């Protein structure tokens, strides 16, 4: 891949250059601030941009936002201490960045635990952008359906790049009295899951927390996948985590989650597919749609990355294509309609 670096720190740039070359990739260009990065992307679009968050002239969040609107290409946030700067990282992901990783610290012998993590994330993005894997039609085998019926309406949401900002926009408008439980699978590094839950909790009147093994979806509560395993619903409608299937790009996978909802949630369901790269969740959304579930996909104009919604729409999995604002209104009206 042709990899571009956006960073104003000379030592960090030298470190990233060595890692890129050692990983068999090509250096496209180097920019020292966000404005330079935008101009470079417009004149020579790379396969991926490694974007720092804090730079003079223009920071990484604004640069990401403008690159995604003017010369869209995959962006990976690479910055010091991403957990300490979680809020700014979520802003960048909301603007369209695909993922985030700490800047590796490398010695003269190229020894660093961070090297392999950075190269792995570059490889994952390469897989997404080159289409090496197709949308899965089958996922982990699930036990036979149980006969229990849930009295709690369930809202399920899948999101990836650009997701945090849209999630905040949607749930911030939902009433405290919402008669439904919400479960979110957002493609995010495991280290960010709890930070994302805390950040979203500050945006809404609902209670937001990470989903733990054995949790039961409850009205007025928002649960977020908390590990790098797949979040699923078991035969009794409780939260569970599993490692299979292992050969998928993302863990947790939206497809695996939606499949489990289709098989195990015997009550009212509303499903949303939000902004993101790739096609994870499209096949699962189609299964829910065929089962009679109300399915919504985010419209192209409001997406930071129009990949996952596009895949779902092309499969015929979305009953409605909407803006986030329209989705919020639909959630409220749907929850009122199914109130028991």
Catalytic annotation on 85?
no
E strands, the chain, are 2-6, 26-31, 48-51, 75-79, 99-102, 154-159, 181-186, 207-210, 221-224, 230-233, 239-242, 269-273, 294-298, 320-322
What radius of gyration do the chain's Cα atoms show?
20
Tokens of 176: 């405290």
Give the whole-angstrom CA distance, residue 265 versus residue 272: 16
Assess contact for 88 and 61: CB atoms under 8 A. Answer: yes
Which residue in the list 47, 255, 259, 280 is annotated as catalytic?
280
Place of tokens 């408008």: 173
Catalytic annotation on 215?
no
Which residue in the list 25, 85, 187, 230 is annotated as catalytic?
187
Which residue in the list 40, 160, 253, 302 is annotated as catalytic?
160
Q: Is the dihedral of CA 81, 87, 91, 93 positive or negative?
A: positive
Catalytic annotation on 260?
no
Assess contact for 245 and 270: CB atoms under 8 A. Answer: no
Task: Just list the catalytic residues.
Answer: 160, 187, 280
């Amino acid at each position: 891949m042709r990899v571009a670096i956006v960073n104003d720190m000379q030592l960090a740039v030298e470190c990233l250059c060595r890692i890129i070359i050692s990983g068999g990739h090509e250096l496209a260009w180097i920019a020292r601030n966000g404005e330079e990065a935008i101009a470079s992307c417009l004149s020579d679009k790379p396969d991926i941009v490694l974007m720092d968050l804090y730079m003079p002239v223009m920071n990484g969040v604004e640069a990401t936002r403008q690159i995604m609107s003017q010369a869209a290409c995959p962006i990976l946030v690479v910055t010091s201490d991403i957990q300490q700067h979680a809020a700014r990282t979520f802003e960048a992901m909301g603007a369209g960045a695909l993922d985030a990783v700490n800047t590796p610290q490398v010695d003269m012998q190229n020894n660093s635990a961070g090297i392999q993590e950075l190269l792995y994330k570059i490889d994952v993005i390469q897989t997404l952008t080159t289409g090496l894997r197709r949308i899965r039609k089958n996922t982990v085998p699930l036990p036979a359906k149980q006969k229990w019926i849930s009295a709690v309406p369930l809202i399920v949401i899948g999101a990836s790049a650009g997701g945090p900002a849209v999630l905040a926009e949607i749930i911030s408008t939902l009433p405290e009295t919402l008669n439904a439980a919400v479960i979110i699978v957002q493609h995010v590094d495991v280290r960010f899951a709890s930070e994302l839950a805390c950040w979203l909790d500050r945006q809404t009147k609902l209670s937001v927390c990470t989903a733990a093994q054995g949790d039961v979806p409850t009205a007025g509560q928002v649960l977020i996948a908390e590990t790098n395993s797949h979040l699923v619903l078991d035969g009794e409608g409780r939260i569970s985590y599993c490692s299979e299937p292992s050969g998928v790009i993302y863990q947790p996978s939206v497809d695996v989650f939606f499949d489990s909802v289709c098989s195990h949630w015997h009550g009212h369901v509303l499903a949303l597919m939000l902004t993101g790269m790739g096609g994870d969740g499209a096949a699962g959304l189609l299964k829910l749609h065929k089962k009679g579930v109300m399915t919504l996909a985010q419209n192209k104009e409001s997406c930071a990355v129009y990949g996952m919604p596009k895949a779902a729409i092309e499969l015929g999995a979305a009953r409605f294509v909407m803006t986030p604002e329209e989705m919020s209104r639909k959630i409220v009206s749907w929850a009122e309609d199914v109130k028991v």
